Structure 1
Amino acid sequence: MRELGRILGRELPALLLLGGLAAAPFIGFGEGYMLTLLARMMILAMAAVSLSFIVAGAGLVSLGHAATLGFGAYAVVILDDLQVVDALFVLPAAILAAAGFALVTGAVAIRTSGVNFIMITLAFGQMAFFTASSLSGYGGDDGYTLYARTEVNGARLLDDRLVFHFVCLGALVLTWLLCRMLLASRFGRVLRAVRGNPMRAQALGFSPYPYRLTAYVIAGALGGAAGFLFANATEFVAPAYISWQRSGELLFMVILGGLSGLHGALLGAIGFVLLEEWLSHQWEHWRIAFGVLLILAVLFLPGGLSGIPAQLGRMLRRG
Structure 2
Amino acid sequence: MNSRSWMRLVLPVLFIVLAAIPFVAQVVDEPFYVTFFARVLIYALAACALNIVLGFAGLVSFGHAMFIGLGCYAVGILSHYGISNGWIQLFVCIAVCIVVAVLVGSVCLRTSGIGFIMITLAFSQMFYFLMVSLTPFGGDDGLNIYESSNFGWFELSGSSEVYWATWALLLMLALFLNRLRTSPFGMVLRATHINPRRVDAFGYSVFRIQLSAYVLSGVITGIAGFLLANLTAFAVPSYIAWHLSGELIVMIVIGGIGLVTGPIFGAIVFLVLEEVLKGWTTHWMLVMGPIITIIALAGRNQFAWLKAIFNRPSAAGPAIKTRPNGELP
TM over 0.5: yes
The structure-2 alpha-carbon separation of the partners of 1:115 and 1:235, relative to structure 1 and needing over 3 Å to count, comes to same
Unaligned runs of 5+ in 1: 315-319
Please give the residue correspondences for 1:194-273 in structure 2 after superposition, counting only pairs within 5 Å: 194-273=192-271
2:109 corresponding residue in structure 1? 110
Matched residue, 1:10: 7
Per-residue deviation at 1:59?
A: 1.0
Structure 1-normalised TM-score?
A: 0.92
Out of 19, 23, 28, the residue aligned to residue 20 of structure 2 is 23
Note the C-alpha offset of 1:246: 0.3
Could you report, residue by residue, the CA deviation over 1:38-75 in whole angstroms, capped at 9, with x for unpaired residues? Answer: 11000000000001111111111100001011111111
Could you tell me how far apart the structure 2 residues matched to 1:6 and 1:283 are? 40
Matched, 1:33 2:32: yes
Aligned residues between the structures: 312
Q: Does 1:307 align with 2:304?
A: yes
Q: Counterparts of 1:166 and 1:313 in 2: how far apart (Å)?
A: 31
Q: Which residue of 1 aligns with 2:41?
A: 42
Aligned to 1:71: 70
Change (3 A) 1:173 1:210: same
**CA shift at 1:242, angstroms?**
0.3
Q: Which amino acid aligns with 1:111?
A: R
1:277 to 265, 270, 275: 275
Q: How far has the Cα of 1:98 moved from its partner?
A: 1.6
Q: State the Cα RMSD in Å.
A: 2.3
Q: CA shift at 1:147, angstroms? A: 1.1
135-144 or 18-27, which deviates more: 18-27
Q: Are 2:25 and 2:33, in contact at CA under 8 Å, matched by a contact in 1? A: no
Is the 8 Å Cα contact of residues 47 and 251 (structure 2) preserved in structure 1?
yes
The aligned residue for residue 170 of structure 2 is 172
Q: C-alpha displacement at 1:33, in angstroms?
A: 0.9
Task: Specify the SS of the correspondent of 2:303.
Answer: helix
Given that residues 139 and 237 in structure 2 are in contact (C-alpha distance below 8 angstroms), is that contact kept between their aligned partners in structure 1?
yes
Q: What is the alpha-carbon distance in structure 2 between the residues aligned to residue 312 and residue 18 of structure 1?
A: 21
Deviation at 1:11, TM superposition (A): 4.0
Runs of 4+ in 1 over 4 A off after TM superposition: 310-314
More helix by share: 1
Give the whole-Å Cα distance in 2 for the aligned partners of 1:135 and 1:170: 34
- 2:113 pairs with 1:97: no
Give the letter for the 2:265 counterpart.
Answer: L
Query: Are residues 170 and 310 of structure 1, via their aligned partners in 2, closer, same or farther at CA, if it must alter by over 3 Å?
Result: closer
Name the structure 1 match of 2:179.
181
Q: Return closer, same or farther for 1:293/1:6 CA change in 2, 3 Å cut-off.
A: closer
SS in structure 2 of the partner of residue 120 of structure 1? helix
* TM-score, normalised relative to structure 2: 0.89
Alpha-carbon distance in 2 for matches of 1:272, 1:168: 18
Kept in 1: contact 2:44–2:263 (CA 8 A): yes
What's the CA shift string for 1:133-186, capped at 9, x where partnerless? 111111000000101211121x67322432322111012112222333322211
User: Using the alignment, how far apart are the partners of 1:58 and 1:308 within structure 2?
Assistant: 25
**Matches of 1:259 and 1:23, distance apart in 2:** 27
Aligned position for 1:317: none
Distance, in Å, in 1 between the alignment partners of 2:189 and 2:108 is 17
Give the match for residue 155 of structure 2.
157
Aligned counterparts, 1:46-61, within 5 A: 46-61=45-60
Q: Distance in 2 between matches of 1:260 and 1:77?
A: 33
